[in-house]
């Protein structure tokens, strides 16, 4: 059946910018109707209200048999549920079950990819028409791979075998199998390629996954093209060198940093979410561990100069999470690769993080680039 039309435009659903972005995220991905987002937003005073509000909206949609909307509402609820907690595990399982019902007719198969004594969840949707190759897609800091289905569905519709997976620390890999995160993303990518017996693939990393995609491409020879949507490069790269040195020294003072971060967490709910998510992904408890985890994403670890394959960088001109300056630094560092940088604008309704506001434009450009970069090839055998 034809793919549903995704909405255009970044909306003002809520006064809180962080809550507003997350509602726009679900809306842009086609799982949260505008009217439902507006109705839910009216009931939210603070981020802590979101799980109950959108959990109830998910139940309403489920009773009506609106599986896509039910899944979208339950994902918003799960996103804001504190972790680690039994409530988060239950919220994830509810979302996954509703999502499976929503896509029951889409020809998707689920797989469990062996990985270092555990498993990574993966989903495969075969190419529509003559197969043109394989594309691996994964998310970022606080994503689950199911939510990006409209993107990897577009990849499949464009003639590529789409394999989407949760890597270490993400989604079902962390919630179901307890797999902690690693920045060395070539390891999960190799596991996925081995499991599906793929010898040549493009790699698409969403959000913070834009860092891990470059890292994997710098080490895994089976990656023939890579997309960083959007780049990180080095969180401290925009600052003078002495600032980076000072920050790295400061995180060595464990007690001081823990106390400082906890104090700021009480003042800033977004920081509370970021630290909690990083601790959950890495199976750590101290706030300073989250800071050290972020600093682990740096130019030296990334190894940009080792990348030799065609590389596509996507960024929004008003991206608050991974701003264009990071994409500029990333492009300069890819000295051995042919690089295409696409900066999306407000005029295009695509200036926000991961182009939430105009995914049809972004996915069309993604699939067009993949088509030009990966020539047709015989269908590969998959598990």
- In a shared domain, residues 55 and 187: no
- In a shared domain, residues 198 and 307: yes
Q: Residue 271: its pLDDT value, please?
A: 95
- In a shared domain, residues 131 and 84: no
- In a shared domain, residues 251 and 227: no
- In a shared domain, residues 218 and 308: yes
Q: Residue 96: its pLDDT value, please?
A: 98
pLDDT band at 378 (very low <50, low <70, confident <90, very high): low
Q: Residue 377: its pLDDT value, please?
A: 61
Cβ neighbour number for residue 103 with a 10 Å cutoff: 17
Q: Residue 1: its pLDDT value, please?
A: 43
Q: Residue 87: its pLDDT value, please?
A: 97
**Domain finish residue from 76, 102, 128:** 102
Look at residue 173 and tell me if it is in a domain: yes
- In a shared domain, residues 123 and 269: no
**Domain finish residue from 260, 295, 330:** 295
- In a shared domain, residues 257 and 306: no
Q: What is the CATH number of the domain that holds 196?
A: 3.40.50.1820
* Average pLDDT, rounded, for the chain: 96
> Residue 116 pLDDT > 60, yes or no?
yes
pLDDT digits (tens, 9 = 90+) for 251-282: 999 999 999 999 999 999 999 999 999 999 99
> What pTM was estimated for this model as a whole?
0.95
- In a shared domain, residues 204 and 156: yes
- In a shared domain, residues 63 and 186: no
> Residue 381 pLDDT > 80, yes or no?
no
**Domain finish residue from 56, 83, 102:** 102
Look at residue 8 and tell me if it is in a domain: no
Gap between the Cα atoms of 71 and 65, Å rounded: 11
Look at residue 90 and tell me if it is in a domain: yes
pLDDT band at 4 (very low <50, low <70, confident <90, very high): confident
Q: What is the CATH number of the domain that holds 75?
A: 1.20.1440
Look at residue 274 and tell me if it is in a domain: yes
- In a shared domain, residues 22 and 144: no
What are the backbone angles phi and psi of residue 173, rounded to the nearest 5°?
A: -60, -40
pLDDT digits (tens, 9 = 90+) for 183-227: 999 999 999 999 999 999 999 999 999 999 999 999 999 999 999
Dihedral, CA of residue 323, residue 326, residue 328 and residue 332, to nearest 10: -170
- In a shared domain, residues 230 and 344: yes
Domains held by the chain: number: 3
Look at residue 355 and tell me if it is in a domain: yes
Radius of gyration for the chain, computed over Cα atoms and rounded to the nearest angstrom: 20
Average pLDDT over residues 113-124: 99
What's the domain range around 170? 109-234+297-373
Look at residue 382 and tell me if it is in a domain: no
- In a shared domain, residues 59 and 113: no
Look at residue 362 and tell me if it is in a domain: yes
pLDDT digits (tens, 9 = 90+) for 327-374: 999 999 999 999 999 999 999 999 999 999 999 999 999 999 999 998
Look at residue 6 and tell me if it is in a domain: no
């Amino acid at each position: 059946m034809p793919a549903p039309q995704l909405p255009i435009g970044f909306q003002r659903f809520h006064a809180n910018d962080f809550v507003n972005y997350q509602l726009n995220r679900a809306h842009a991905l086609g799982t949260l109707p505008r009217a439902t987002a507006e109705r839910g937003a009216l009931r939210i005073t603070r981020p802590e209200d979101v799980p109950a509000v959108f959990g109830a909206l998910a139940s309403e949609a489920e009773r009506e048999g609106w599986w896509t909307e039910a899944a979208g509402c339950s994902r918003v609820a799960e996103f804001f549920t504190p972790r680690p907690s039994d409530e988060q595990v239950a919220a994830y399982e509810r979302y996954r079950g509703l999502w499976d019902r929503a896509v029951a007719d889409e020809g998707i198969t689920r797989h469990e990819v062996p990985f270092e004594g555990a498993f990574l969840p993966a989903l495969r949707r075969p190419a529509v028409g003559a197969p043109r190759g394989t594309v691996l897609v994964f998310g970022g800091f606080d994503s689950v791979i199911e939510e990006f289905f409209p993107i990897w569905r577009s990849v499949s519709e464009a003639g590529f075998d789409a394999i989407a997976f949760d890597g270490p620390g993400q989604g079902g890999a962390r919630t179901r199998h307890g797999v902690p995160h690693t920045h060395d993303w070539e390891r999960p990518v190799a596991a996925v390629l081995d499991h599906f017996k793929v010898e040549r693939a493009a790699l698409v990393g969403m959000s913070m996954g834009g860092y891990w995609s470059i890292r994997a491409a710098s080490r895994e020879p089976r990656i023939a093209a890579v997309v960083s949507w959007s780049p990180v490069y080095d969180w401290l790269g925009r600052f003078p060198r002495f600032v980076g040195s000072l920050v790295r020294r400061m995180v060595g003072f464990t007690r001081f940093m823990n106390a400082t971060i906890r104090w700021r967490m009480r003042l800033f709910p977004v920081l509370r979410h970021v630290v909690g998510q990083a601790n959950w992904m890495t199976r750590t408890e101290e706030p300073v561990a989250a800071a050290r985890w972020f600093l682990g994403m740096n130019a030296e670890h990334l190894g940009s100069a080792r990348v030799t394959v065609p590389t596509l960088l996507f960024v929004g001109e008003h991206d608050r999470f991974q701003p264009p300056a990071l994409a500029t630094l990333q492009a300069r560092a890819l000295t051995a690769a042919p690089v295409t940088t696409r900066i999306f604008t407000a005029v295009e309704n695509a200036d926000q993080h991961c182009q939430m506001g105009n995914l049809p434009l972004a996915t069309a450009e993604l699939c067009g680039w993949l088509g030009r970069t990966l020539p047709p090839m015989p269908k590969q055998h998959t598990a």
